Every structure is written in structure tokens, then in C-alpha cells.
Structure 1
């Protein structure tokens, strides 16, 4: 039995995720971070704990070193990341967040909180139940564990 779009959970979640992403990015642009892309968010998460080699970043993101290097170069151009020599290996370079990159992370967190409040507000009194159910589903499927372990990868 084929479901209709309004009863198709993957389709609804995809549509909502795209809308949330667009709203978050619009708010980030208003905060001076219009260059921020969704893929940058994945990189930010891996740089928050400290500098990382591009090859290690690529492995964590599930992409080639060339692909990770391209994203890092883009982030360098807009001032979110910087490379510096690895003190343990002069051939390697470490990637780290700049103060502008940290500001973008904070702007993203604030934007997500605003979008969350806005959308949950539209649900009214059922918002808490909805969020609890969605959180339970994310936990049951392992998606929440992957998110918290920073193992979600850009697609």
C-alpha cells in the first residue's frame, strides 16, 4: 500500500529538514554568516574539540582527503578555518577554527534555537509530546547516538 506524501515519514522528515536548514541559514546570514553552508556544520563539529589533520577530518566525514581539503579551503576563504603546521610532523597541516568560525558556530546554535521555538510554537500544546516522540524514535533507531557521537556525515 503506497502512502500519501502527508503520511510518508521519510518524505515529511526530508521536507522539514530542508525547511529548517533554509530557516537556520537565513538567520545565520542575518547574523553576518551568509557564506555558511550545511557541509561547514559537519566540519565545525569536528573542529570544536581542537585542531585536526585534513586526512583525519576526511576520514571522520567519510570523504576523500581531496574533498575535505576543498571544503577546508572554502572555509579558509570566508575566514571560518585556518591551517597551521603540525608541530609533531612538519609535512602535515592542522585545521582549526578561527574566532570567526567560532562566531559562526554560536550563530548557528542561536538560529537553531529560534527555529525550534518557532516551529514547536506552531504545534501549540502538542509540542512537548511531539518532541518526546521524535526524540524516542531518534534514540530507538540509533540516529541520536550517531548525532551525539559526531558520526553523521554529509551526503
Structure 2
């Protein structure tokens, strides 16, 4: 089935909104919230999972509590956009465990890396041993977050 929010009804959207707020919500609680019995609610939830509207469930960890005190946004310019060069860059960067996300972007830069590190030294290690090892990178510009104002993994649906 083609994924399209237009084919989702109000109950499907309510299930998705509830699950993105709290993935540990039980089917029983979800059904109660939606004034449904458990079995039809469970079937809808399973259908939403199977059709890919829910890709996974995960815990959101506290970066500061785990010692990740540096959040950086790294803007990269590259010399070439060949498929091979792009694949090598993507594989090398995404294999680093601190990389939170990698985006191919428009504008003055080609890629944006969002990374969490425990220290500036750890961030410098990423720059020197991951990024500088990629000959295709022409320019690296970093913005270090001074503080996170807001963060949400929720989609407005």
C-alpha cells in the first residue's frame, strides 16, 4: 500500500500521535483513550506498523546524563558529486557512532552533519580521523551548540 497520510482516518492519526508521544503506551490504554475495544485497536496499530507509518520504537536518552556535552552541526562542501564519492562520504560519516544525522542539503554547503560528542577532544578526533580522511571534502565549517532550546521527534500530523 502506498504510504499517504490522506488514507489515514482520525483514529489512525490519534494512534500515531499517542505512540509518538509515548511508545510504551499499552494497547489497553490506547483503546481506552480512543473509546475502542482492544482487538480493533491492536489491529490498527499492527497495520500502521506493517505499512511503515511506524518505523520503530526507541528510548530517548539524556545526552547530558550520559556525558555527551558537545553538540555540533558540521557543514561540508565537497569537490565532486559522483555516486561513488557520495557513497564513500556517507558510509564513512554514518559509521561514526556519534553521528546523530547526516543530511544532503541545498545552499552554500552540500552536507550537514549533526553529531554528539563527550568532549571537544572527541569532536576534534572526528574531524581529524573521519572528515579529513575524505579527499572529496573541500570545506568544513562547524557550529557548536551553546544550549538546546527545544527538541522534538514528533511530526505534526
The question of a shared fold, defined as TM-score above 0.5 by the shorter chain, is answered with: no
TM-score (norm 2): 0.31
Structure with more of its chain in helix, by fraction: 1
Structure number with bigger Rg:
2
TM-score (norm 1): 0.31
Structure with more of its chain in strand, by fraction: 2
